[in-house]
Every structure is written in C-alpha cells, then in structure tokens.
Structure 1
Amino acid sequence: MRKNVGFHSVRSFSDRRWLLPFLASLLVSFTLFMATIFGLFSSQNVGDSLSLDIVSFTTLDDFENDSIGTDRKKLLDQPAIMQEEAPRIAYLITGTKGDSQRMRRTLQAIYHPRNQYILHLDLEAPPRERIDLTMYVKGDPLFSQVENVRVIAKANLVTYKGPTMIACTLHAISILLKESLRWDWFINLSASDYPLMTQDDILHGLSSLPRNLNFIEHSPISGWKLTQRARPIIVDPGLYLSKKFEVFTTTERRELPTSFKLYTGSAWVMLTRSFLEYCIWGWENLPRILLMYYANFISSPEGYFHTVICNSNEFKNTSISHDLHYISWGYPPKQHPLYLSTKDFNRMVKSGMPFARKFAKGDPVLDKIDRELLGRANGQFTPGGWCNQTSSDEMAEQCSSRGDDSKFLPGPGAERLQQLMKKLMSQEFRNGSCSSLQYDQTKRDWITPKKPA
C-alpha cells in the first residue's frame, strides 16, 4: 500500500512540470495584451487608420447610421464648388458590323488629349474589322504618346432592345474606374452620332458648370410604354448566345413595382463620375436591384440610369432632363429617329446641341459639318488649342503633334453651348425634372424653389 501511495505521490509531483511553461506563456500573453491596449490608445490619439477601419466595417450593414454615407451626403448637399481645372470627358463609342470606319471618323472629330476614349465594336463585327480598328489605334503616334484611346478586345454582343447595351456601357465604365483614369463626365455615342462643335467649345462651355450635373433626359413612364415596356418580360439571346437574335417576350406579364418609380428617356447621356461610381460600386442596394429588374425589360438603356438617378435621394437633385443631342423624330414620332441630311444643317446649328444623330454612312452633311463647324480636314483631328500649329493652313496636319491640352480656342460653338446651358438651368425647364432644386445663375448654386403664396 505504501508503495502504491508513494508511486502516486511521485507521479502527482512530476505532473507539475506544466507550471513553468504555463506561467511563461501567461507572462508573454499579458505583455502582448498590455502592448495592444496601449497601442490602441496611442493610435486613437494620433488618428491611426485602425480605428477607422473598425468603424467602417461594423457599420456597413446599417445605412441609416453609416458615418461614411452621412459624410458623403453632406458633401453632396454642400454648394457646388467651381473647379479651376478644366473638365475632362470619358467617351464610349459603340458600333457593330461595318461601323469601324465611322467609329474612326467620330473619334477623330471628338478627339482631345484631355479626354479618355473607349471603342467597342460588338461581337457581330468580324474579327478582321476589330483587328483593323485596334491596329489603327496602336499605329497612331499621338494615341501612343497620350495613351487615352482603348479598344475593347473581348467584345460583347449587343442586342437591340435588350439589356446587353447596358452591360456594354457598364463594362466600359468599369474599365475607366478600375484604371483610375481622370475624367469628370461620361458620354456614350454610337457610330451614327457626330459632334456639332469642337472639343474646345465643349470643354470651355462645361468649365463654368458644377461637376455634379447629370444630363439625362427622363420622365415618369406612362401611357403606352406602361403596357408595351414595363409589363412584358423579355429574354435577350445576346446574354446566352454568340449570334445576334431579336429579343423574345414571355406570355407572362409583370406587375408594376411599388418600392421604386419607373422612369424612361433617351439612351444617350452625360453622367458624372460620382453617379457612375454609385452605379458600379453600389454602397446601397438600389443600383443592383434595378439592374436585375431591367435585365428582362424592353429597351432597358432608355430606363436603367433614369430610374436609378430619380429614385436616389443622393443624386436626383443633380439631374438635368436633356440628352444634349439634336434628333429629328418626324411627325408623328416613330420608334426610330429620321436620318439627318444637309436640309437639317441650319436647324442643327441653331439648336445649340453639341451632338446630333442619326447620320447615314458617308452622308455629305458630315463633310459640311467638318468644314463649317469643326474646321477639320478629311482623316485628321479636329484642330484646337492643344495643337502645335503655326498657321490656319497647317492646323489639320500639325494636330498630330501635342501641345498644351489645357489651352482652348473656343469658337461660335461655345457661344451656342452657353445659350443652351442657360436654358437648361432655368427654373421653367427644370420643372419637368425629378430634381426638386433650381440653379441660381448668380450664386452658381442649387437652391430649393420657393412655393407660390
């Protein structure tokens, strides 16, 4: 019995060997804990980013109390600051089979070293045509120097009336944001669009405007569009197939949404970087919900951005209901606009619009626009203050050499654009917008209009 007791007592004593490692680990843990505590307090005192990361992470699920979202709203509510630096524009030019030459011409007509350009020739175009367009961009010495023209290599299939046009547009915007390129506004054009004034005219005219304005023609969807666009459910084959087919409609009809209001308008827009960051990054769920909703909506390019901006409390007061295009719809208006020709030239100029559509391939009116409005020679860039030039006879040729891109030579087009903007900022025009604010020309700020007595 004693042997057994002695054995157990020795074993019990030997088990205490864990005490030394335990005490050592306890001491180390206590030291690290105290160091962390003092480190946190010191980082709070010096404004270390760790505390900010914790706050932003723990409050992402609560948009009502999100300090980051609140700060952003405060910034949007502040008076618009007129920036000293001239604006920059990001252009998307889209086309399909047989449009590469027209896209080149439009690019030359609207080119400016300050801007960014993305060209998308859709999947219906043969590979040879896309390669030729890419080689043209790569082979131009000015494009290689400035590096502001890109051709989308992995083309998307764009179906008329389907959501694939929105997918193409969001794809281009994502590229512009991912590469952290400098731009203030985004403009989408097709191969059948053409400018009615120089980039110097446009950039000079936009320099006096707040950078938070979104030009997007819109109105609440009503009438025949409710039954022919809002209620049908469509499927776009371009999302699933490699060849272009017409969209087809299901037999089912949907009810109108109750959580947001539907808007419609022109597919041609000039949108701000901040609004498009909201659409792509979506710090709240509205852009994603509406993107899914418009995935099977007829003519979604004429409704997606419009519905997002007019249902967003942050951005609806920045909307101007205009697409900055001269378009002839005829009477009564049909589904497609009329082709413009020389007989429309004077009306286009008097409109003050910076762009017009639609133009047929090689129509003589384009040569007239080049000659009388742009001062552009065939196959050359539209001249401007950025060109290294010595005489008017050499302007077109010497625009292949880059000078100061912050120097503008505005012409009559700038005056026409100024008159147009004055009209668009008026209270009478903005009464039809989803915005509830009015632009004060004297204060250069948005104000809430007074209610009539």
Structure 2
Amino acid sequence: MHNISSKSIGFILLTHTKPLQIYRLINKLNMLFNYPVIVCHHDFSKCDLSVETLPKNVLLVRPYIQTEWGGFSIVEATVQAIELMYKSSDAPDWFVLLSGADYPIKPARQILDDLSSNPYDAYIQYEQITYKTYKSNLIPSMLWLKNSYERYCTKSFVFNYSKKTYAKFNLEICLEHPLLTKAFLPFSKKLTCFSGSQWFCANRKAAEYIIDFHNNKNAITLHYSKIEKFSDESYFQTILANASHLKLKNDRRRYIDWSDGGSHPKILLMEDLPNLLASSAHFARKFDIDIDSKILDELDMITS
C-alpha cells in the first residue's frame, strides 16, 4: 500500500447551478483529502454563489467565462482553471475534473493508491474518430462515434442565392471524405481526431502539456473554437492522445449511466448504489440533492 500522502491531488470544479450541492461537494472533498487545492470555475451568469462562505483552499477563476453547454467556452473555462491550479505554490501531482453534480464513491486512500501505483499520466476516455468507422454499421451504443466524425471531421459550406426576381434559397455542401476535407481541417495521419467523455483526471506532466498546447493557439485550437457543439468531448482527447510522450489509460474513472437515452445521463438514486459500489470508478455523476440526497448520505458513510 502507498502512503496516502505519497501523491497530492487537487480538484477542478466546473459549476453553474445548485449552490448547496456545490458546497456539499467541496466539504466532502475537504474531509476526504484534507483540504486539497480546489479550483472552481463558477458561471455566475447562471446562478449566484456565496463566495464569502467558501473555504480558504478554494480558488475561483476570475473573471469567469459565460459558458454554454457543449460550447468551446467549457474548454476555455477548463484550461483557465488548470492554469490557475498549476500557478499555485502547492500545485498537486494530480487533478480531477468534476462538475457540481459529481461525488466521490471511493475512499481517498483507494483513489490516491490507484493514481500512485500506476504508470499513467492521464485517465481519459478516448476513441479514434475515423472515416471508416463513420461509414460502417455500428451497434446503437457506438453511434456517438459516427456523430463525432460528423462534428469534428467534416466541412460544410453554405451558399446563399438571392435575386430580386427569384425566391431566396440556400445550398449546403458537406465534405466528408478525408481527401476532400484535408485542406480545411487540422487532422492528418500524424495527428488524428479522438473523442470521448468530457470528464477526466491527469497529472502535472499532462496538465502542463495541455496549458502549453492551448496557449500556442495552433490549428487544433482554432478548429475546435469554431465548432458549435461538443468541442469539450474531443479537444482534450485529441491533444493528449496525440502526445507520444504521455501514457494514457482509456478509462475516465467515472461512473455514468446513459441507459435513459437522450443528451443527459440518468440522475443517480438509491437504487443505483449497488452498481456504484461494484464499479471501479472513483467518482460518479449525476446526482441531484433535490431529487435524492439519501444516496449522498450513504456514500458519505461508505467513503469516510
């Protein structure tokens, strides 16, 4: 067993709603990990947060970014939070990216032992997005790979025609094949597109690489900044999975239940507790204290 202090851990919180649940998560992290560095990007345009009552170990990203669900603003907020964390004098060995709807489901010692005893620089879900996959027949649960190709690897052009004597009409042309999109996209055989869950954890080496990469304002950053939706589910995957000096584990260490279908995961209830405990994940989402707070009470007893 590794000593609990052998690796330090910090937390980046992306929050925008339910202040009481945010305070509860912060208090839980402080109890479990003995007041770690916590950097919070809170979108004050969505709801207020009483800053005066936050513990001293919580740093707020200022000025905050007005975030949009699935937008590049989420990427910007995340990078700014990582930067703030690694500028601090007690920057941790590892950071975990969480939302306000996340909660730990394993004891601190187990989480830290997992991170300390493995050779990885990041735990992140990443799948390569290819034209071959896009054109193949996939099982329904893997259709997101097709959606990812459409989002990140195609190029559309819209032509507007308008004459006084004729009705207005638009013509949209969408290029799909890599030979046709090559001139317009930053991807190549050497730098390929990856996609996966937005939530991940990484060490200092990976964090510093993300910061440097993002601040260089390269073609990848420019490309994703122009994508209207879900750039947060491909940007970090593409950066890290193409970095040959980093060792990744294709596992986000997050329990998320998509069985309800739709664009949001299932709200976790007491009935889900056995599945949470059987999981190898460190954290789970989504919880909602207004729908079921008892499951959080149970997790408090189990993880303390």
Do both share a fold (TM > 0.5)?
A: yes
Q: 1:279: which partner in 2?
A: 210
2:207 aligned counterpart, secondary structure: helix
Unaligned 5+ residue runs, structure 2?
A: 135-145, 158-170, 176-180
- What are the within-5 Å matches in structure 2 for residues 367-382 of structure 1? 367-371=294-298, 373-375=299-301
User: How many angstroms does 1:198 deviate by?
Assistant: 2.9
2:65 is the counterpart of 1:156:
yes
8 Å Cα contact 1:100/1:121 also seen in 2 = no
TM-score normalized by structure 1? 0.53
8 Å Cα contact 2:270/2:294 also seen in 1 = no
Whole-Å separation in 2 of the counterparts to 1:288 and 1:272: 23
Q: 1:93: which partner in 2?
A: 13
Q: 2:167: which partner in 1?
A: none
User: How many angstroms does 1:326 deviate by?
Assistant: 0.9
Whole-Å separation in 1 of the counterparts to 2:80 and 2:20: 23
2:292 is the counterpart of 1:353:
no
Letter in 2 for 1:231: T
2:258 is the counterpart of 1:329:
yes
2:24 is the counterpart of 1:105:
yes
Q: 1:288: which partner in 2?
A: 218
Whole-Å separation in 2 of the counterparts to 1:320 and 1:214: 6
In structure 2, relative to structure 1, the CA distance for the partners of 1:369 and 1:85 (3 Å cut) is: closer
2:114 is the counterpart of 1:187:
no
Q: Deviation per CA, 1:204-238, whole angstroms, max 9, x where unpaired?
A: 4433233x43100010124322124432579xxxx
Whole-Å separation in 1 of the counterparts to 2:215 and 2:80: 20
Structure with bigger gyration radius:
1
Q: 1:231: which partner in 2?
A: 154
User: How many angstroms does 1:105 deviate by?
Assistant: 0.9
Equivalenced residues, count: 262
2:47 is the counterpart of 1:118:
no
Q: Deviation per CA, 1:122-154, whole angstroms, max 9, x where unpaired?
A: 14235xx23x1x1111xxxxx44xxx2212342
TM-score normalized by structure 2? 0.76
Whole-Å separation in 2 of the counterparts to 1:181 and 1:125: 30
Q: Deviation per CA, 1:390-412, whole angstroms, max 9, x where unpaired?
A: xxxxxxxxxxxxxxxxxxxxxxx
8 Å Cα contact 2:194/2:238 also seen in 1 = yes
More strand by share: 2
Q: 1:313: which partner in 2?
A: 244
1:109 aligned counterpart, secondary structure: helix
Whole-Å separation in 2 of the counterparts to 1:334 and 1:217: 20
Whole-Å separation in 2 of the counterparts to 1:166 and 1:273: 18
Letter in 2 for 1:117: I
Unaligned 5+ residue runs, structure 1?
A: 1-81, 138-142, 235-249, 377-381, 384-453
Whole-Å separation in 2 of the counterparts to 1:83 and 1:194: 23
2:11 aligned counterpart, secondary structure: strand
Of the candidates 207, 210, 228, which is equivalent to residue 116 of structure 2? 207
1:375 aligned counterpart, secondary structure: helix
Whole-Å separation in 2 of the counterparts to 1:337 and 1:360: 12
1:334 aligned counterpart, secondary structure: coil
8 Å Cα contact 1:123/1:158 also seen in 2 = no
The percent identity for this pair of structures is 23
Higher relative contact order (CA 8 A, sep 6+): 2
Q: Deviation per CA, 1:51-82, whole angstroms, max 9, x where unpaired?
A: xxxxxxxxxxxxxxxxxxxxxxxxxxxxxxx9
Letter in 2 for 1:308: I
More helix by share: 1
User: How many angstroms does 1:252 deviate by?
Assistant: 6.6
Q: 1:49: which partner in 2?
A: none
Q: CA RMSD in A?
A: 2.9
